[in-house]
Chains A and B, each alone.
Chain A
Amino acid sequence: MSARENGDHPVALVTGGTRGIGAAIAQRLRDDGFTVATLARSGGDVQADVADPEQVEAAFQAVRERFGPVLVLVNNAGVRADGLAIRMAADDWTTVVDTNLTGAFHCTRRALDDMLSARWGRVVNVSSVVAERANPGQANYVAAKAGLLGFTRTVAREMARKGVTCNAVTPGVIDTDMTTDVADGLIGAVPAGRVGRPEEVAAAVAFLCSDEAAYVNGATLAVDGALGA
């Protein structure tokens, strides 16, 4: 019996869940009957920098005490520090990779314990359309988002036998604070002819978190208006 069929409201933790795509995901999962906790550096139900394993451990402990075991994890926290590789500061590389990729590892590692005990779990990693392409000026971001896809597939294979799935979504240009400076120039390149809405990414994540998606594992679901096609 799955956690959902059991009539429970499993706890879903959304990192970076206070703004943009993360806030839309948190709202959608709440609407779908999950007990949602948001994790962010400030605001949110619990505060942590996902790049710091000790802060992540403390935040998970707080979520477990307040809400219960984490059976759904959406690794959405992400930052940008753009610049050409030839001039990129080491700190800008490290900050982006530590948050966008290593942060997802720290959170997933904590959540898998709970999921393994429950024999049910959903991990969704929010990657990006650029993960499977290239984006000059974002070597750090693209590397981290591409790394997330490999991480996703590997966790999927490791945990598949235990009722835990791990999938990724690759949003294209989505209308959030993070893309205000890039959206206008990119619209022409999007086959759909428009930017996406955070709610459209949230709908894809919600599907991957559902019982119906139990056999979808290690997949990458593009939500990009065909930009990556």
Chain B
Amino acid sequence: MSQQIPTEQETLEAIREELAAIKVPDAASAEPSSTWSDLDVDSLDLVEIVKALEDRYDVQIADGRLKAIATVGDAQELVQELVREKAGAPA
């Protein structure tokens, strides 16, 4: 059975959970417009979050795409795009 495409709200909750897992103080109030610097998330934290999202959704986020992820919303969009590609569904 193909994987269900997560909704925007689901990916937002997933990212909030992963932020909380690495002890980001404002994890619960993270919004799509929040930048990593707003959240005090450094480059190594971002690597951890990306790794957790890869495991959660069984997708691979290429290292080259990390730089383009500047906000929570960027991460949501990328995850949804990759899950859609994996499921073979039209974008």
Contact = CB atoms under 8 A, between A and B. Distances in A.
Contacts, number: 10
A56 B34 CA distance: 38
Interface of A: 113, 116-117, 158-159, 161-162
B51 A113 contact: yes
B18 to A, nearest CB: 13
Contacts of A159: 44
Interface residues of B, number: 4
Contacts of A162: 44
A161 B44 contact: yes
A189 B44 CA distance: 44
Main secondary structure of the interface of A (DSSP, over half): helix
Contacts of B44: 116, 158-159, 161-162
Nearest to A113: B51
A60 to B, nearest CB: 15
A114 B36 CA distance: 24
A162 B48 CA distance: 11
- Interface pairs A-B: 10 shortest CB-CB: A116-B48, A158-B44, A162-B44, A113-B51, A161-B44, A159-B44, A116-B47, A116-B51, A117-B51, A116-B44
6 contacts: A113-B51, A116-B48, A116-B51, A117-B51, A158-B44, A161-B44
A32 B51 CA distance: 32
